[in-house]
Structure 1
Amino acid sequence: MQETAADAPTVTDVLTLEEIDRDLYRSTLVFTDPFPLYGGQVAAQALLAAGRTVAPDRLPHSLHGYFLRSGDAARPTVFRVDRDRDGGSFSARRVVAVQGGEVVLSMSASFQAPTAGPDVQVAGPPTVQPPEDCPPLTLPRLFSTESRRPEQPYATAALPTRFWARTTVPLPDDPLLHACALTYLSDIGTGLSALPEDEAAPGPTLDHALWFHRPARLDEWVLVDLVPATVSGGRGWYTGSLTTRDGVLAASLTQETLFRPGRNPFRPGR
């Protein structure tokens, strides 16, 4: 059935989990998708499940997820959380996301209680046009998200490596949900699209890591900047940052994908 704008899922539907039992959660959003389950969706839901098991004042400061199998958006995902440790300031969690009895994602996540100390940002944000002065950009696979395309740092990149984005629905004043929405956004795009036309073919994501430096609202504009770094041993690796509109570095990321010999599928006409 064709969805209308009124009944289309939103990011709040993505970030809704049913608690089955202690430390056991299940996604509630299912939909037909011709592609494998979007990695940012399952990673955001895994972080949310982990966050539901820590004290409310402990927010995520890092995660590292391994994508082990393709998932299916048309079936629920079950998340099992292991409480590795709750210390005086930090809580460590492990999460496995399961479909059909098989693990599709394994994640480690760490949470920290509020801590006083210096706040230093060494480098400023990239210099780009404000989102209002940029043309629209469609980010595939993301529900209720809009984006803008500023000038690009790599003129020959097949896909944008720098873009503004925000949700089109307001999000509640819950820092955990905003961190999960950031995770949902962080897996879209790739810095590897800037590599030479026929160098190699980027493939599925192997692993994805995020460090949350400062809070950011994802229903306000954030700038995503992805930077290619290296290809070796059949793997491509890039880094990235997410910066608020007022120039505050909210998060940093790294991602590694399979990278096989062959033509780059991101190039037009491939």
Structure 2
Amino acid sequence: MGSVAAGSGEDRSGAGPSVLDVLALEEIDRDLYRSTLLFTDPFPLYGGQVAAQALYAAGRTLGADRLPHSLHGYFLRSGDAARPTIFRVDRDRDGGSFSARRVVAVQGGDVIFSMSASFSVPGPGPDQQVQETPTVEAPDALPRFDLPRLFSMAARRPEQPFPAAHRPTRFWARSTVALPDDPLVHACVLTYLSDIGTGLSALPEDEAAPGPSLDHAVWFHRHARLDDWVLMDMVPRTVSGGRGWYTGSITTPSGVLAASFAQETLFRPGRNPFRPGS
């Protein structure tokens, strides 16, 4: 895959880093990459950032005909946005149609994140979408709201399926910088977006609240441009043993299911220590 130039693209949101700067990795050796965007942040390194960078590093070891169809990542330690992250890619297998990669993200000699990702050559077969996508208002007429911690991403808030949730579980989002015509880049930006928010915000906070992410999985079904609007929809599923689990979907304005994802987080008594105001 081709590389992303830092800061490239038409910036529709003004000055400052963009999601393309997030993906601007320096190749320091074969299958070894280093992040270049450094900034101060009072909170631990955003998990969606390191996951998107890990997926991009893995994709850089493949040809343009192989695109990610799934990833499974584990958040092992807190990272620091002011320090570079090293990504080491292991080429587990290259078959006739599928390629498997493992990536570890390291800061200060410690692994902060690990990922298994699978890539495939698109093949023939039926294209069916069984479940209907949510019916919501079009994004352009909706009020804006902030997606904290994300660079160059805009959001709009439609009517909520869980009105009492302390954070939206359904929203439109898109990159505010034009993205190159590289499906890997769009898959990485989708990954960057997929970790923001939580379906568990729909649950009462009287006794417990969602905390740091433990693991995250994404399945890429169909291509979607992330510099156009996509709808994030998250649904709480279960809480048990101090952990909470939710699922989500990302669909296009025409109702095409682009990706599905699932995440498990800590869910223990007390307020989330990483939430502003906690």
SS at match of 1:137: coil
Report the Cα distance in structure 1 between the residues aligned to 2:74 and 2:100, rounded to whole angstroms.
Answer: 17
Q: Answer whether contact 2:43 2:274 (CA < 8 A) is retained.
A: no
Return closer, same or farther for 1:92/1:266 CA change in 2, 3 Å cut-off: closer
SS at match of 2:193: helix
Q: Answer whether contact 1:24 1:80 (CA < 8 A) is retained.
A: yes
Question: Structure 2 matches for 1:228-243, cutoff 5 A?
Answer: 228-243=236-251
Mind listing any 5+ residue stretches in structure 2 that lack a counterpart? 1-12
Question: 1:47 pairs with 48, 51, 55, which one?
Answer: 55
Question: 2:175 pairs with 167, 173, 179, which one?
Answer: 167
Amino acid at match of 2:93: R
Question: 2:85 pairs with 39, 60, 77, which one?
Answer: 77
Which residue is 1:255 aligned to?
A: 263
Which residue is 1:142 aligned to?
A: 150
Report the Cα distance in structure 2 between the residues aligned to 1:110 and 1:55, rounded to whole angstroms.
Answer: 13
State the Cα distance separating 1:200 from its structure 2 match.
1.1
Please list the CA deviations of residues 80-136 of structure 1 after superposition, one character each: whole Å capped at 9, or x if unmatched: 000000011000000000000000100000000121110000012101000012110
Amino acid at match of 1:214: R
Report the Cα distance in structure 2 between the residues aligned to 1:171 and 1:6, rounded to whole angstroms.
Answer: 15
Return closer, same or farther for 1:116/1:234 CA change in 2, 3 Å cut-off: same
Question: 1:106 pairs with 109, 114, 120, which one?
Answer: 114
State the Cα distance separating 1:264 from its structure 2 match.
6.6
Please list the CA deviations of residues 197-233 of structure 1 after superposition, one character each: whole Å capped at 9, or x if unmatched: 3141211000000000000000000000000000001
Aligned residues with identical type, % of pairs = 79
Report the Cα distance in structure 1 between the residues aligned to 2:272 and 2:122, rounded to whole angstroms.
Answer: 44
State the Cα distance separating 1:65 from its structure 2 match.
0.3
Q: Answer whether contact 2:68 2:117 (CA < 8 A) is retained.
A: yes
Report the Cα distance in structure 2 between the residues aligned to 1:220 and 1:199, rounded to whole angstroms.
Answer: 39
Amino acid at match of 1:174: D
Q: How many residues align?
A: 266
Range that drifts further, 256-265 or 46-55: 256-265
Return closer, same or farther for 1:199/1:229 CA change in 2, 3 Å cut-off: farther
Question: Structure 2 matches for 1:120-139, cutoff 5 A?
Answer: 120-139=128-147
Q: Does 1:15 align with 2:23?
A: yes
Q: Answer whether contact 1:192 1:228 (CA < 8 A) is retained.
A: yes
Question: 2:38 pairs with 30, 44, 50, which one?
Answer: 30
Amino acid at match of 1:236: G
Report the Cα distance in structure 2 between the residues aligned to 1:247 and 1:203, rounded to whole angstroms.
Answer: 31
Question: 1:219 pairs with 212, 216, 227, which one?
Answer: 227
Which residue is 2:3 aligned to?
A: none
Report the Cα distance in structure 1 between the residues aligned to 2:161 and 2:277, rounded to whole angstroms.
Answer: 22
Report the Cα distance in structure 1 between the residues aligned to 2:276 and 2:54, rounded to whole angstroms.
Answer: 34
Mind listing any 5+ residue stretches in structure 1 that lack a counterpart? none
Which residue is 2:10 aligned to?
A: none
State the Cα distance separating 1:262 from its structure 2 match.
3.0
* RMSD after superposition: 1.6
Q: Answer whether contact 1:158 1:268 (CA < 8 A) is retained.
A: no
Which residue is 1:88 aligned to?
A: 96
TM-score normalized by the length of structure 2: 0.93
Amino acid at match of 2:129: Q
Return closer, same or farther for 1:24/1:263 CA change in 2, 3 Å cut-off: closer
SS at match of 2:21: helix
Amino acid at match of 1:56: A
Report the Cα distance in structure 2 between the residues aligned to 1:155 and 1:57, rounded to whole angstroms.
Answer: 43
Q: Answer whether contact 2:211 2:274 (CA < 8 A) is retained.
A: no
Report the Cα distance in structure 1 between the residues aligned to 2:213 and 2:117, rounded to whole angstroms.
Answer: 18
